[in-house]
Structure 1
Amino acid sequence: MHVGPCHQVGDAIVWLPKERVLFSGDILFRLCTPMGWVGTFHKWYQALDMIVDELKPDIIAPGHGPVCGLEGVTEMKAYLEYVEKESRIFFDNGYTSNQAARKTDLGPYADWLCPERIYLNVERAYREFRGETFDKPWDQAETFDEILGVAKSRSMTPTF
């Protein structure tokens, strides 16, 4: 079933209703920071809500992270909502997306793998706040340069 664009244009899930198993692809990242290249938060919320409200799988094989049940979906949706809310505060106060990502306290998501992906998610939120289309090109190199600069200053290696 095509459910995108959420993470990418071709986002699809595979649902086995008899077995109650869902292969979510990159619609779900479990205990691992998701990243949205194209699409919108709203579209991603719709896809996650459909999984919970309509499909109700017993077992989900996410695109990233360990196998889970519906708790993985609700955790990831809560992460996306958190990032969107925090990003809005920074946006409304005149911060750039990179400044906002740097200042965002990851709170309960700080231990998730690949926390540096926050930069991509904040950039996505900013594009939405500016009313840009989901597929408008953006300066990905600038975002990655920022991530690498922050990682280098902290003696870390990004784990994309």
Structure 2
Amino acid sequence: MEDNHYFTLEQVAEGVWAAIVVPGSGALGNAAILDLGDITIVVDTFMLPEAGSLLRQAAVNLTGREVEYVVNTHFHGDHHYGNQAFVGSTFVSTAGTRDFLNGLESLDYEKWQLAIREQIVALTHSKAIQTDERVRQALTYEISDKEHLYVSVPTIRRVLASMTFTDRFVIHGSKRTAEVMTWGGGHTMSDAFVYIPEDKVLVAGDLVLGKSHPAMLHGNSESWVAILDQIGNELEVNCVIPGHGPVTGSESITEMKNYIKDIEIYAKKAADSDQSIDFWLDQGDLEPYDSWLLSHVFEWNLRHLFKKYQVAKMV
């Protein structure tokens, strides 16, 4: 199989591959390829149509058949903008994810590109004044991802699920099973994940990341922790293919839960103090998360939660 600059493939079990994005390539969110024996499934499709095309070809090369099902774990574009490359596949998502995307306005490509360009300017400014080299590197990747998206915007077509579910959708293959499930919303208003019981593999979407700061702007922390508790209590997991970051083990479920709880406590402490948000950001990232990937996302999360708790104080 030819190499590409969007993702690398890592086999985590027989018939199960993680497609881990190359930072700054524009693909942004991880994906997975599942060979059930007689059925091929792809979970999430990257942010760029061209990366999605290479993912489809990789799935065909690995399994010897076309992709029958594409599962989108949630509504963020880095997990479904590549859908259009999978012509002929059946697209699956939660009913909530489809309803949300279906309710959006039609794509205005000029307006979209203008917004991306403004984001790039803001990110470039943030990088220029940043002294932490880890954060500077993370911002470099983020800017590069945005630049790739800017170029690809005119080619993107929104492809929604043709099949939805509200609880659990099971796909039985001749060798293994894919249990597509949702326990509500945590990272977003509706999150799905895929569990392969024969191999104890969890394809987590953005509910679980591999030592990476999770974006919390569209989520509900309490519900997110409850979902992670339920995963830990009800599923036996040996391997996690995360939405971002490297392949990891079941320990990442607890790590993600701890991160959410710890940053909520920290943000409330900050909001209850007499100090500004910039004072708290100057203290650096929380330990032990100060070595995690996507380090610039810590600032986004803390600003978001700080504002939430300040508003709550005024009610």
> Could you state the TM-score of these two structures normalised by the residue count of structure 2?
0.38
Q: How far apart are residue 89 of structure 1 and its match?
A: 0.8
**Residues 1:61 and 2:245 aligned together:** no
Structure richer in strand, relative to its length: 2
Query: CA offsets per residue over residues 37-62 of structure 1, 9 Å max, x none?
Result: 21211011011111111112111111
- Counterpart Cα distance in 1 of 2:223 and 2:298: 18
Judge conservation of contact 1:101–1:119 (CA < 8 Å) in 2.
yes
Are 1:26 and 1:64, in contact at CA under 8 Å, matched by a contact in 2?
Answer: yes
The sequence identity of aligned pairs, in percent, is: 31
2:305 equivalent to 1:106:
no
Q: Match of 2:195? A: 15
- Per the TM alignment, residue 20 of structure 1 is displaced from its structure 2 partner at its CA by 1.5
Which position in structure 1 is the counterpart of 2:155?
A: none
Q: Distance in 2 between matches of 1:109 and 1:81?
A: 12
Map Cα deviations across residues 63-84 of structure 1 (whole Å, 9 max, x no partner). 1112222111111211222211
Shift of 1:115: 1.3
Contact 1:97 1:119 in 2 (8 A): no
Q: In the aligned structure 2, how far is the partner of 1:28 from the partner of 1:97?
A: 27
Shift of 1:128: 4.5
8 Å CA contact 1:6, 1:39 repeated in 2: yes
Could you tell me whether the CA contact under 8 Å between 1:41 and 1:80 is conserved in 2? yes
Structure 2: how far apart are the matches of 1:104 and 1:19? 39
Unaligned runs of 5+ in 2: 1-180
Alpha carbons 2:228, 2:257 under 8 Å: kept:
yes
Q: d(CA) in 2 for partners of 1:123 and 1:62?
A: 25
* 5+ residue gaps, structure 1: 132-160
Match of 2:209 among 10, 20, 29: 29
CA RMSD in angstroms comes to 2.2
Counterpart secondary structure, 2:296? helix
Aligned length: 132
How far apart, CA to CA, are the structure 2 residues paired with 1:128 and 1:54? Answer: 32
The answer to whether residue 232 in structure 2 is matched with residue 49 in structure 1 is no
What CA deviation, in whole Å up to 9, does each residue of 1:3-62 have, x standing for no partner?
343222332111122321110001011111111121211011011111111112111111
Indicate conservation of the 8 Å contact 2:206/2:244, yes or no.
Answer: yes
What is the SS of the residue equivalent to 1:13? strand
Change (3 A) 1:91 1:83: same
| Aligned-partner SS, 2:258 | helix
| 2:202 alignment partner AA | L
Q: Which amino acid aligns with 2:245?
A: G
Compare the two structures and name the one with the higher helix fraction: 1
Q: Conserved in 2, the CA contact under 8 Å of 1:3 and 1:13?
A: no
Residue 87 of structure 1 is matched in structure 2 by 267
Which of the two has higher C-alpha Rg? 2
Once residues 127 and 12 of structure 1 are traced to their aligned partners in structure 2, the CA distance between those partners, rounded to angstroms, is 28
Q: Taking CA–CA contacts closer than 8 Å with sequence separation of 6 or more, which of the two structures ends up with the larger relative contact order?
A: 1
**Larger CA deviation: 37-46 vs 1-10:** 1-10
Output the CA distance in 2 between the equivalents of 1:11 and 1:71.
Answer: 20
Secondary structure class of the residue paired with 1:44? helix
Equivalent residue number for residue 121 of structure 1: 301
Q: Is the 8 A contact 2:271 2:307 kept in 1?
A: no
Distance 2:300 2:219 in 1: 12
Tell whether the 8 Å contact from 1:5 to 1:38 is kept in structure 2 after alignment. no
Task: Quote the offset at 1:105 in angstroms.
Answer: 4.0
Q: Secondary structure at the match of 1:32?
A: coil
- TM-score, normalised to structure 1's length? 0.71
Report the 3-state secondary structure (helix = DSSP H, G, I; strand = E; otherwise coil) of the residue aligned with 1:61. Answer: strand
1:65 & 1:116 partners in 2: Cα distance? 14
